[in-house]
A = this chain, B = another copy of it.
Amino acid sequence: MRVGLLTGGGDVPGLNAAIRAVVKRGEGEYGHSIIGFRNGWRGVVDGDIVPLSRNHIRNVLPVGGTLLGTARFHPHASDGGLDAVLATLEAERIEALICIGGDGTLHAASKVAEAGVKIVAIPKTIDNDVWGTDRSIGFDTAVGIATEAIDRVHTTAESHNRVMIVEVMGRSAGWIAVTAGIAGGAEVVLAPEEPFDIDKVIKFLKHRHRAHANFSIVVVAEGAVPAEGTSMSYETPVGQFGEIVAGAITARVKAEIEQRTGFDTRVTVLGHVQRGGSPVPADRILGSRFGVAAIDAISRGETDVMTALRGDEVVLVPLQEIAGKVKRVPSELLQVVRALA
């Protein structure tokens, strides 16, 4: 069997673990040929392939990024893109395709599946907002990096009596902000799930600095927004690739806090470091399990599904169940943040 494999969207740590698992299991157990496409869907459109063997995957387990390369490119959004995809798959005699990606890639995957291609998807995103799975590849490493950053600014905040604001990724869901906020002991976490009232934030900080400690850590997801009808007006600015402009919300929050409290307030925008580097064990294991599950599913003819983690188990979820949904942080976790502030 000839099985195609691509990684799409932003790179995250743990992709190589999944690629390695697909190749080792596919070749070793089933004798499949695994055909990699370079740079995500663009490689499928362009017919840019690399047949993968055990040699390609030596020592890649602890390495971040993706050995296949990746790109933010959606075939169904470009003229003739879908046709080019089908043409390449036919020319290469690809019988099934494994797509590792976030919601953009998964959306493209469902479009390609509708055109008759057999697909198994593997979820990856540091935002952890893919519906249907407890975890996506890359999230745990990002939380590790964000927590380390919070630990670091913590000692500075305390030594200098400052408010330190740390901006982390999270466009539609605040998973990194909330979990790293809990792990780092942040006093305030602003997440997209709960539009915030800046008046309450400032009241809380003033009270804390008066009563308990003269420093604070505030963690802000890039997609955090003020609640309607509150005193701070804000429109999320969007950049040339449709991404949220880094540092925008944080700069506004800093200005409000500094002006209204007089506290020395500093900002750290974590940015790209959140998605790179060696994956933590959880992402290596998740990538490995998802890779094995994906090739196993294809081999027994189960397609148009996504691999998913539920508790301690890996399961398969129909692709169409996922489309258009976002997994948000549950209220229990948001409450833990408040309980420990």
Contacts and interface: CB of A to CB of B under 8 A. Distances in A.
Interface of A: 10-11, 13, 20-21, 24-25, 28-29, 39, 54, 58-59, 61-66, 69-71, 134, 140, 143-145, 147-149, 151-156, 158-161, 164, 179-180, 182-185, 212-213, 266-269, 271-273, 275-278, 280-282, 284-285, 288-289, 292, 310-314, 330, 332-333, 335-336, 339-340
Contacts of A140: 281-282
Given A70-B160, A182-B284, A336-B289, A155 B24 contact: no
B314 A152 contact: no
A39 B182 CA distance: 27
Main SS class of interface, A: helix
A82 to B, nearest CB: 23
A190 to B, nearest CB: 18
Given A65-B156, A70-B159, A268 B277 contact: no
Q: Which 3 A-B pairs have the closest CB atoms?
A: A65-B155, A152-B276, A64-B155
Given A154-B276, A273-B152, A339-B28, A281 B161 contact: no
A41 B66 CA distance: 37
B25 A156 contact: no
24 contacts: A11-B155, A11-B159, A21-B339, A24-B339, A25-B339, A61-B184, A64-B156, A65-B154, A65-B156, A69-B161, A140-B281, A143-B282, A153-B276, A155-B277, A156-B276, A179-B285, A182-B284, A268-B273, A278-B278, A282-B282, A289-B332, A292-B335, A292-B336, A310-B311
A134 B311 contact: yes
Contacts of A184: 61, 281
A148 B62 CA distance: 10
A231 B283 CA distance: 37
Contact of A272 (B183, B266, B332): B266
Given A65-B155, A65-B159, A155-B277, A339 B29 contact: yes
A146 to B, nearest CB: 8
Contacts of A71: 160
